[in-house]
Structure 1
Amino acid sequence: MTRLVCAAAAVVLLAAPGVAACARNSDGTPVKVEASTSSTAVASSSTSPSTRVTDVPESSEPGVLETTRAPIPPDATVCRSEQSGPTAVAAVSDPAAPKITVRMPPGWSSTPGTGDVGALLSGPDDMVAEVTIAATPLDPSAAFTRYGDDVMARYPISTLSLLPGDFCGFSGQKLMGTWARDPDESLEYQDRIAHIWTNTGSYLVAVHVEAPSGTAGFDAAASVLTDEFSIVIP
């Protein structure tokens, strides 16, 4: 399987509206996707230089920022999104893992997950979602590349488009595409992933939403679920 990297798009997307994002299909063929500018601002840090370490990314992956490593106090809310309506909290057994709060569309419900799955969510018309929180030794670019490759490998027919999805100073991406075992029956999906550093290591958080292709209300529900989420570092 070929990994498509759009070096120019990752930079231009952050600066100008209506430009092409990275996309590919299951045979690695480039696909042009129109995208709008992200309005998310990178949060500034007031930590002194003596306690602040940054890793400057060398990557063409959309949404990859410098990783800032500064001491974080216990139970710190490092990102608080403006959330109205019902929410779901995703947490895993790892005591050092971040806790995530996502918005839920009307008519959705959530239950706790197991392992790296912090929450399982279900909606009408066979729409489902899950929030995974997994420790990773990889930097943001490598973690995002692996995640995208895993998404593409799940079905024999698959497409994937990428947009920058960084927020609150964390590297992030938005993914969308389709899966199919044959051309007559397919699924559509949208994901929001973020690379989150804690005092003890890094975690890849992923919000994944899927439904049968053409499901009414999928885009609206996925937009809510993959919006910026709240993050608490234990």
Structure 2
Amino acid sequence: MNRIPAVLLAAGVWLAAPGCTRVEQGVPTAGTDTSAVVTTAVPEPAGNPCVPEELAPVRVQAEIADPAAPTATVGVPEGWSMGSSPGGARLEGPDGMWATVTVSKVSSDPDEAFAIYVDDLTADTVLSSVSLLPGELCGYPGQTVLGVLGTADDGTATVQYEARIVHVPSGGAAYLIAVYVEAPSGTPGFDAAATMLTGDFEIGLP
């Protein structure tokens, strides 16, 4: 795994029942015990480069060994550390906050890739909530995923999370870029950190 470079510039409601997942697509809906089904229109990609109008002063680039894979460069909140990890980059913040930026090969169907991501996210939790919001980026299909996960056997210990997932075709394959942020529920500063990390980010193609 290559070392992840850091770029320095000048300048919901949760369902308290074991094994249950509530999925909301933009607005509140009835709870369900079934897996998440995400429907997303597929726009025409705008192409490379994909660079937001506003860039954070400090950014970290996640890349994997696959030469056909895209890269993702996201903003780093002040006071956070960063480094390489399997599949991309990992960041550590104060008060138990942490984040990952991963790039992985997935199905060519964005809806299928998104549904698998949500299923994997909630698979090992005793309770969970999932809200799905639009998250397209530079013409690539995307979702913003946020909610609460129960980590104790009785569901009393919970973490809050937010993720931005983007489906990017590259080199004849398809990849999912996932920016995931987690912290113990109610952690001060989580919303601001998650907003920066999951905001619009740079996508590079080989």
> Structure 1 length normalisation: TM-score?
0.71
Aligned to 2:185: 213
**Alpha-carbon distance, 1:132 to partner:** 1.0
Give aligned-pair identity as a percent.
Answer: 40
Aligned to 1:168: 138
Relative contact order: is structure 1 or structure 2 higher (C-alpha 8 Å, sep ≥ 6)?
2
2:123 matches 1:146: no
C-alpha separation in 2, matches of 1:220 and 1:23? 29
Aligned residue among 66, 71, 81 for 1:109: 81
**Alpha-carbon distance, 1:184 to partner:** 2.2
**Closer/same/farther in 2, CA of residues 213 and 3 from structure 1, 3 Å limit:** closer
**Alpha-carbon distance, 1:64 to partner:** 3.4
Contact 1:24–1:159 at 8 Å: present in 2 too? no
C-alpha separation in 2, matches of 1:5 and 1:62? 12
Q: Please list, as runs of the form range in 1=range in 2, the aligned pairs for 1:79-158 lying within 5 A after superposition.
A: 79-81=50-52, 82-114=54-86, 117-158=87-128
> Structure 2 length normalisation: TM-score?
0.80
Unpaired runs of 5+ in structure 1? 14-19, 31-59
2:157 matches 1:185: yes
C-alpha separation in 1, matches of 2:111 and 2:22? 13
**Alpha-carbon distance, 1:113 to partner:** 1.3
C-alpha separation in 2, matches of 1:200 and 1:29? 29
**Closer/same/farther in 2, CA of residues 158 and 67 from structure 1, 3 Å limit:** same
Letter in 1 for 2:64: V
2:174 matches 1:202: yes
Contact 1:64–1:166 at 8 Å: present in 2 too? no
**Closer/same/farther in 2, CA of residues 29 and 207 from structure 1, 3 Å limit:** closer
Q: CA RMSD in A?
A: 2.7
Helix, strand or coil at the partner of 2:147:
strand
Unpaired runs of 5+ in structure 2? 1-18
Aligned residue among 30, 35, 38 for 1:61: 38
**Closer/same/farther in 2, CA of residues 174 and 21 from structure 1, 3 Å limit:** farther
**Alpha-carbon distance, 1:66 to partner:** 3.3
C-alpha separation in 2, matches of 1:113 and 1:88? 12
Give aligned pairs, total.
185
C-alpha separation in 2, matches of 1:222 and 1:162? 15
